[in-house]
Each structure stands twice: as C-alpha cells, then as structure tokens.
Structure 1
C-alpha cells in the first residue's frame, strides 16, 4: 500500500530540538495558524480553503428524497470526504487510510451530530418529501491540518449555500427555479470549528496547525471543536501519549480565541461575496429588465 514519504531521522531530531528552543521551522508562534485563504465559487455552496499549502474544496448539493421513517419531520444531511491521489501518495481511491477514517469521524461529530444544521428546516412534506443535503469534501493538497481546513470549508460552504424555494399544495410539492423565486439560505443553528493541537510528550509542547513534517514527529493530537460562544462540541484525542488534564483546559482556552478569529474571517468573506453578487447578480439583472424602456406602439 502506498505510504507518505516520512521524515528522516536527522529531520526528526532537528524539528524536535528546534521545538525545545521554542522555534518552528516556518517561524510561527506555537499557537499560530498558517495563512488562511477562503474563496467561494461561482455557484452557491462551493468553498475553497487554502491553509498554508493544504487545500480543501467543499461543495454542497441538494436533492429531494423520502425522509427516513424514524425521522419523518427531518431532512437528510451527510458529509462525504474524498481524498485525491494527487494530494498525497498515501491516498488511494477505494482504500481509505487512517487519516480518512479519522477525518470523516471528526466532521460527522463536529458538524452533523452537534446539530449545526437545522435538519427540520429541510422537511417539505412530513413523511413524504424532504431535501437531502450532501457536503462533498475534496482534499486537493495535503500538508497537514486537514481536519481544521475541512471543517472551515464545510461550515463556510453551508452558510454560502442557497436551497431552492418550494410551493406545497396538499401532498404536491413544486420546486421553484432561481428565475421564479430567490433561493433560500440554510438554517444554521451554530458554527462549530475544529482546532487541532499536535502534542510532543517529551517536551510537553502543544502546536496549533502543525504542517505535515510536524505531524509526522508528534506523539499525539488533541482536536477541540467549539463555536464562537465557547460551547464545546467535542474533544478528541489520538495517539498513545498521556496528556495532563490542565493542558486540555489550556487547549480549550486557546481554541476559543482561534474559533472566534476564524468565525470573523468566514463572516467577512461571506459579506464580501454577497456584495459582489448583488452588483452583477440576479438582482441587477432583474432591475435591468424592469428599467428597460417600453417600445412605442406600432402605427
């Protein structure tokens, strides 16, 4: 099975000795993220996140289906992660790695199980029809920090997405096109975001947003998911290293500030995108049609 190119013994020793001297290879502080870029696609629900050299694209799609019998008043929401072989030699289509399993599990708990999306708002006719929402996460480039970048991409895409409006008459539902009625934003209850801490047991050091080389020499990782209000959605720990409980509390305090900063950035990009769409989008097109001068009567 293909594997990621591992760091050499000398590189491992160099990284760990640098951390003992409070130095990261790229010069960042221990609690600093890499440069983050967030862009939205031409269509609603496409978010492109670049965290350092790591790149993740999330795309939201919607369909109409029959709700599960045990949840007649809910819609359907699922998250699917796809690891492209061009992102890393360790990724193969159809053969999930541990990283893929962990990413899918973390996103499932962080976003879907924390009820970030109001699935009841996706119901069209109870027990008969509902919207089925799907978030596809595509890993384009892998240089560490996949969980954090993927969570940002999915939450940004959900807030950017607009579902079609629907008219219900009895047991008949008519899905309206964009031309007929403005699409509707999703009902987002809160915005959970992940902050991953890489742990180095021998030095008792925690790093925020480790790159791939730093991830390969760590002894463990702690993933804290919370929203900007400080509500903790999950705390996950992987790796065999033992961690002091007080250190976990410190991670939570750092994560809260990072989540607040990330939430502000996402909101800023959403507002910028909305302004751009208002300038040359559907509203401008409709107003142009209304302002078109009437032709004089013939004869």
Structure 2
C-alpha cells in the first residue's frame, strides 16, 4: 500500500493542533466519531459507518468436515478485503502489510476470545460441522479501520441465523426458512476493538484517529474488550515504548467506549427485529424518506361550484396589462414582432429601410437602361393589368412605312409597348 504523503505544512499544522488539544473535525481528545449501524435484508449483513469510514460485513455458513483432532468443533473464518474503491492507496489482488495486520487482529478479537460457542456448530461428530465465514469489505477509508471492522463483524454475527438441520440415520437434511425458522448463533460476549493513537513519542493521546491523524502518529495501541471489562486482545504497533500508567489509562477509556458501543449494537438489533415484524427491513428502509408530493393545491384554482363569483374575484385581484410593451427580448434570432408601439426586432431602423428602398429603385432604373442599350424589351409602364403591344422583327420591315402614322396613333393612357430586334 502506497500512502499519500502529507506536506510539511500539513504535518506541522496537525501536530500543532494536537498539542493544543484540537482536532480537525472538532472532537475532543477522547471523543468517538458518530457511529451508525444498519442491517441488510438478509440475516448476517451489517453496514457500519464510523464518521466517513464505511464498512460492510457479511456472514455465511457451510457444512464441512471437522478436523480430526477436534471432531466436535466448527470453524470460524475471517476475511478482510481492501479494495481500491475504499482508497486509492489500496491495490487490488495484493496482500499488504495493513491487510495482514487487520486480519490477525480481527481473529484475535473474535476467534481467540471464544466469544462464539464453536461446539454448538457441530451437526454430526466427526462428519459434519458448520463453517462460519465473515467477510468484511472496506467501502471507504477515513482512518480507524480496525474498530469499524470489529463492530461490523460482531454485529453481523449477532444478526446472523443459520438453517436448522435434521438427522435421520446417516442422512443430514438442511431445512429451508419456509419449513423451519433459522437458528441464531450462541454468542457469549461481544468483544470490540478500541484504537488509541500516540504522538510526540507518547506525550499526546487521541481516541479513534482519522486518516490524516494516522499519517502523523508515532504509534497505535488497539485494545479489544467486552462490556464486562475483560481484555480479549491487546496489540501495539509503531515501535514506541508505553508506560504502565498509559496502558491502564487506555484500558479505562476503552471500557467506557466498549459499553457505549455494545448498547448501540443491542439497540440496533432490537430496532431491526421490530422493523422485520412490520415488514420493513434493509438499507433502503433505514435511509430518510423524502417523499415528493405530486399534487399541490393551488389557491387560484376554480372549482365547479360558484364559478362566476370566483372568476370575478380573480379578475378583480389581477393586475391590468400594460398599455405598451417597453422591452421585449427575443429568445430566438430571426423572429420579428408586428404591432403598434413595439420596438423593431429585425435589427433595421426605419431610416435604413427607406434608404434600402431608394437604392432598390435606383438599381432597377440602371437595369432598365442597360436593357435599352442592349436592345432588350423595354417596358413603357409599370402597370401589369393593362394591354401590351409587341412588335416582332418580321413585321418591322412591313410597318416601316406606317411608322409615322402609327406614331400618331393614340395609345391608351398607361399602356405598354415592347420592342424587340
């Protein structure tokens, strides 16, 4: 595992804050972070949130053959998974030093402390026993993974139910939940781990360190204890020497924290039992429900009774529309408005429009002059509804003599003549 190193400024800031008995999240020296325990739909599925550290534990069982030297005892297996989803420092498929340490500490905390009656897991002596497996998945790493893993594992074991078994001769029958109710495990006590971080060679002490505090600590002390103040396991790492008074003080603090967490687990189990009787269980039910109301009553809505009176009241309360529109914003380019008092939205002023019309007329006159010079058809009038007289080139020679007479011929006002060569 490759941890992201802190800068010198961050390290100095953290150590200075610890000397002044201040922490980044505003906690006191011996305060635990907010802890939440939620159980899934299946038995043995537990989700623990310790601050921003999130852990999920799942318990499963299987019938296997026992050991030859211990034919009446079942098995307890523990597996912790550190995936890159929890932290970029974790590598997939490799057992880091942290992973090995966490697995060993969890086994000492739960299996070596004899918290579960493994002889009750025996089905047929020397032939069939139950193998209980606890898989702990780290979902998010924000420090103190051991405490979160121990809480999730023991809570999942307390919540787990194994199938009932029937024996007839040499046959072993495993009953489904519809046939027989599942049986809980025999748990004597609930050992819980509490971690203590030491700074400045053991001068300063913090409970439940976060990830940044773990990066600058000199040593770590983990004490697993139950609510009866019985120490199940103790382990120190970091290479610092602790005095007897320091260990005793940590054990007293751990006894208080363990009793609080044990009560929290018991309360969570009772709440889950009550929720299952009501038909509500699982992670989705534990989340706060923020329902959306689709239909909202409008005060201006008009009902079918007394329509005329309510309509008259609404019209009287409504404001009169403005006589003229001062400003209009066109959302789409190329769209124009027509109306008296409406600002021109085409981007062309009236003066510019007059200039454009005059320039169009001048261009039209120039085109007509060019057509006359080239011998094209010439229109003598702009009217389109009056008669048009066309002179063809073939009849031009015949009518040369009559041009003088035809020129004196009266042409109706507004008529058109076209000449072609």
Please give the TM-score of this superposition, normalised by the length of structure 1: 0.92
Q: Determine the structure 1 residue equivalent to 2:150.
A: 151
How far apart are the structure 1 equivalents of 2:202 and 2:168? 66
The one-character-per-residue Cα deviations of 1:239-270 (angstroms, maximum 9, x if unpaired) are: 01221111000000000000000000000000
Structure 2 matches for 1:85-100, cutoff 5 A? 85-100=84-99
The one-character-per-residue Cα deviations of 1:197-254 (angstroms, maximum 9, x if unpaired) are: 0011346111111000000100000000010000001110000122111100000000
How far apart are the structure 1 equivalents of 2:103 and 2:202? 30
Please give the TM-score of this superposition, normalised by the length of structure 2: 0.65
How far apart are the structure 2 equivalents of 1:33 and 1:25? 13
Equivalent residue pairs, number: 281
How far apart are the structure 2 equivalents of 1:242 and 1:233? 21
Structure 2 matches for 1:135-146, cutoff 5 A? 135-146=134-145
Q: Determine the structure 1 residue equivalent to 2:49.
A: 50
Moved more, 216-225 or 162-171: 162-171
Maintained 8 Å contact 1:78/1:135: yes
Q: Determine the structure 1 residue equivalent to 2:258.
A: 259
Following superposition, the deviation at residue 93 of structure 1 comes to: 2.2
Higher relative contact order (CA 8 A, sep 6+): 1
The one-character-per-residue Cα deviations of 1:276-296 (angstroms, maximum 9, x if unpaired) are: 111228xxxxxxxxxxxxxxx
Q: Determine the structure 1 residue equivalent to 2:127.
A: 128
How far apart are the structure 2 equivalents of 1:68 and 1:191? 26
1:215 match: secondary structure = helix
Following superposition, the deviation at residue 51 of structure 1 comes to: 0.6
Maintained 8 Å contact 2:202/2:242: no
Q: Determine the structure 2 residue equivalent to 1:5.
A: 4
Following superposition, the deviation at residue 94 of structure 1 comes to: 2.1
Q: Determine the structure 2 residue equivalent to 1:181.
A: 180
Question: Please, what is the CA RMSD of the aligned residues?
Answer: 1.3
Maintained 8 Å contact 2:201/2:240: no
Maintained 8 Å contact 1:201/1:242: no
Structure 2 matches for 1:129-278, cutoff 5 A? 129-202=128-201, 204-278=203-277
1:107 match: secondary structure = helix
Maintained 8 Å contact 2:73/2:129: yes
Structure 2: state its 5+ residue gaps.
Answer: 281-421
1:149 match: secondary structure = helix
Maintained 8 Å contact 1:20/1:203: no
How far apart are the structure 2 equivalents of 1:276 and 1:173? 33
How far apart are the structure 1 equivalents of 2:167 and 2:263? 37
Greater strand fraction, Structure 1 or Structure 2: 1
Maintained 8 Å contact 1:226/1:233: yes
Following superposition, the deviation at residue 67 of structure 1 comes to: 0.9
Maintained 8 Å contact 1:125/1:171: no
How far apart are the structure 2 equivalents of 1:170 and 1:162? 25
Rg bigger for which structure? 2
Moved more, 5-14 or 194-203: 194-203
Q: Determine the structure 1 residue equivalent to 2:373.
A: none
Following superposition, the deviation at residue 130 of structure 1 comes to: 0.9
Structure 1: state its 5+ residue gaps.
Answer: 282-299
Q: Determine the structure 1 residue equivalent to 2:108.
A: 109
- Structure 1 stretches (4+) deviating beyond 2 angstroms? none
Maintained 8 Å contact 1:193/1:259: yes
1:280 match: secondary structure = coil
2:242 match: secondary structure = coil
Maintained 8 Å contact 2:197/2:220: yes
Q: Determine the structure 1 residue equivalent to 2:25.
A: 26
Q: Determine the structure 1 residue equivalent to 2:77.
A: 78
Following superposition, the deviation at residue 4 of structure 1 comes to: 2.0
Residues 6 and 166 of structure 1: CA distance in aligned 2, closer, same or farther (over 3 Å): same
How far apart are the structure 1 equivalents of 2:170 and 2:151? 38
